[in-house]
Structure 1
Amino acid sequence: MKSELKKMLEYLEIGDLVLENGTLIRNVRIAYNVYGNIDNAEKIIWICHALTANSDAETWWPEMIGKDEIFNTDKHAIICANVLGSCYGTTFECEEEKPLITVRDMVSAHQKLADSLKISSIDFLLGGSLGGMQCLEWSIINPDFIKNLFVIATNCKHSSWGIAFNEAQRMALELGEKGLDAARAIAMLSYRNYKTYEYSQVDDINAADDFSAASYQRYQGEKLRKRFTPSAYYSLSKSMDSNNVGRNRGSLEKALSKITAKTLVIGIDSDILFPVNEQQYIAKNMENAVYEQIKSKYGHDGFLLETDKIKTLLKKHFDFL
């Protein structure tokens, strides 16, 4: 069934785009995927992807999208667009040198794509991590356009802790050939946690070298290097650092208060990169938001892996799913 869902990557020219810093980008091209039929859909669902993911959301969230899944392609049209700065088909995919692309710029491109697709409103907008940042920003920029909202494992302003992790990764990228491997290895320490490694990377009691955790770090680095580019990783980490919904809006609280969508915010108890106090803060400062928390041994990566728990909470709060 899953193979039937796969769509060819689609491309659309959305015209010129002025970035937040004033840079004019001409003839922006967006790569995106659609599952289902936009014209006949009961609901339009838009998924914003995270740092190294892409617009083919079914490949990285397979238990969420399908004919018998919570995002049902028989009823819904599910759209995911590759973000500016990534290496999966959207403008800047091949450029080594990129301008600063903020989360706000990503959202501006999403809105222009939605307009080009003649979408008058989004029934359900959702995302985790960097995806959640885009969702919050979009819901502030155009609150009437977003009817329902779900964010998980994200924040409304990137923390000094998160920026420090990203800078360490960029320092690794600057080292050269294996820089992306090292950057990913650093990132994995923030995506998981102490208990995750104790649970998943187990060695023989007599081992003195060649430890499972060491092999795992190298494997994760090599795997990313085969499918991603250092320049995209560098650019998107800077984009994540830029996340601050309160910038030029008075305060975080004032910005969040602009969101009118019915909202579910989920925190993951073991997430050390986006701790639950960040999601609690988001929900507390929105008029129509509910906070829920899930237990997970997977840390930040729980937003990708704890799909059964996520689906249960989505069905609890959104009766159209």
Structure 2
Amino acid sequence: MSTIQKIVFQNVLLQNGVVQSKVILSYQLFGQAIGSAPLVIVNHALTGNSQVLGENGWWKSLIDDDKIIDTKKYAVLAFNIPGNGYQDEENLIENYQDFTTYDIASLFWKGIDSFKVNQVFAVIGGSLGGAIAWEMAAIRPKAIANLIPVATNWKASDWLIGNVLIQDLILNNSKNPIHDARIQAMLLYRTPESLQEKFQTKLQNSDGLFQVESWLLHHGEKLQNRFQLSAYKLMNHLLKTTDIFKNNNKSEVIKSISSNIHLISVDTDYFFTANEIKITFQEVKNYNNNAFYHEIKSIHGHDAFLIEFKQLNNILKPIFN
């Protein structure tokens, strides 16, 4: 399996003017050697990491030998968002509110530059990872052939910002912060229909605990056991910071992006709604002919991008063939 490698950047200037004395960017490489095959960048979501394939790979249904993103054909590079703490206590960041998705996207480009690569075949990411993909495209509008943001958008919505606030309050005020924040988040990532189909209001045990309660408590514990508090605070905060037009004219930014843009939504997503992604698609179409809209049909809501692999495979097949 690919080992985690690191690049250390000193004195990184952030978007808000703060200079971060040290940032550790870690990554894993899969498939072909960079420079010998088209390069695919895979950006992870809030609780994800650089392990995109293999036994614990969070997108292993999409990426590996002979899968849709075929590691026999592509070089696959997956960065850890600095501060996510994946297999490295050293890369945690305490001043989480200083960072934005723009900063993370800039660091990813610095990482790519270390491989002396000018062109990227595809940047794909779900949720937070897709928002970072948008920021990467805005920073270098001619460098990505295929931009594939999944279940995400180019600017945080009021609904998203509100939910980030609730998560931040839980993370800063709860006696059991990661556990409790995760339970609340799971209800946003799924839908009422999804939970009803899964549990049918059945009891888990004779103590009167419902199966849905047991499932939520399990998810809270699971994340608590593998995620650090400062990492969760940072990842949650980053969600609300995305705005690729922050200092730029919208039409100029959209016109400048030369990528084929494949927007993928989930019809029941509560977190990044299909409707807001459709509006984004229409705005892109005003200036660019290279935009395509795809919709995953699922009762599972936002998490469908981690569940509905058959549909996602069908959407991605023409791009990666």
Structures share fold, TM-score greater than 0.5: yes
Q: Is the 8 A contact 1:157 1:244 kept in 2?
A: yes
Change in Cα spacing, 1:255 to 1:10, as seen in structure 2 (3 Å) is: same
Deviation at 1:90, TM superposition (A): 7.3
Which whole-Å deviations, capped at 9, do the CAs of 1:166-211 have from their partners, x for residues lacking one? 1111111123441111100110011001101101123448989210
User: 3-state SS of the aligned residue for 2:137?
Assistant: helix
The equivalent residue for 1:227 is 226
- Identify the residue that residue 249 of structure 1 maps to in structure 2: 248
Contact 1:10–1:32 (8 Å) recurs in 2: yes
**Contact 1:82/1:90 (CA < 8 Å) preserved in 2?**
no
Corresponding residue of 1:30: 25
Correspondence 1:93 to 2:91? yes
Aligned partner of 2:294 in structure 1 is 292
2:24 touches 2:91 (CA, 8 Å); kept in 1? no
Which residue of structure 2 lines up, in the alignment, with residue 308 of structure 1? 310
**Unmatched 5+ stretches in structure 1:** 1-5
Report how far residue 219 of structure 1 moved.
Answer: 0.7
- 8 Å CA contact 1:100–1:238 kept in 2: the answer is no
Change (3 A) 1:204 1:82: closer
| In 1: Cα distance, 2:260 partner to 2:202 partner | 50
Show the 5 A alignment for 1:165-204. 165-204=163-202
Match of 2:112 in 1: 114
- Give the distance between the partners of 1:147 and 1:121, measured in 2 at CA: 8
CA–CA distance in structure 1, aligned partners of residues 100 and 58 of structure 2 = 23
Q: Deviations over 1:249-285 (max 9, x none)?
A: 134x543333210121111111111111121122222
Map of 1:1-321 to 2, 5 A cutoff? 6-39=1-34, 41-58=36-53, 59-88=57-86, 93-204=91-202, 209-251=208-250, 253-286=251-284, 287=288, 288-316=290-318, 318=319, 320-321=320-321
Q: 1:205 to 1:125 in 2, by over 3 A?
A: closer
Aligned counterparts of 2:86 and 2:175: Cα–Cα separation in 1 = 21
Query: What CA distance in whole angstroms lies between the structure 1 residues aligned with 2:92 and 2:114?
Result: 24
Alignment TM-score, normalising by the size of structure 1: 0.91
Unaligned runs of 5+ in 2: none
Q: Distance in 2 between matches of 1:315 and 1:163?
A: 33
Distance 1:249 1:85 in 2: 28
Q: Distance in 2 between matches of 1:91 and 1:43?
A: 32
User: SS of the counterpart of 2:226?
Assistant: coil
1:107 and 1:95, CA in 2 relative to 1: closer, same or farther beyond 3 A? closer
Instruction: Write the letter of the residue equivalent to 2:198.
Output: S
Tell me, in whole angstroms, the C-alpha distance in 2 between the residues paired with 1:64 and 1:55: 14
The DSSP-based 3-state class of the residue aligned with 2:147 is strand
Of 88-97 and 6-15, deviating more is: 88-97
Query: What letter is aligned with 1:12?
Result: I
Percent identity of equivalent pairs: 30
Structure 1, 257-266 or 83-92: larger mean CA deviation: 83-92
Q: For 2:142, what is the secondary structure of its paired residue?
A: helix
Secondary structure, in 3 states, of the residue corresponding to 2:159? helix
- Hey, what does 1:3 align to over in structure 2? none
Q: Report if the CA contact (8 A) 1:20-1:104 is conserved.
A: yes
- Which region of structure 1 is more displaced relative to structure 2, 25-34 or 222-231? 25-34
For 1:222, the aligned partner's letter is: E
Superposition TM-score, scaled by structure 2 size: 0.91
Query: Residue 73 of structure 2 aligns to which amino acid in structure 1?
Result: K
Alpha-carbon separation, structure 2, partners of 1:198 and 1:115: 47
In 1, Cα distance between equivalents of 2:214 and 2:94:
30
- CA-based RMSD: 2.1
For residues 170 and 23 of structure 2, the distance between their equivalents in structure 1, rounded to whole angstroms, comes to 30
Q: Measure, in 2, the Cα distance between the counterparts of 1:201 and 1:14.
A: 47
1:91 CA drift (Å) = 9.2
Deviation at 1:99, TM superposition (A): 4.7
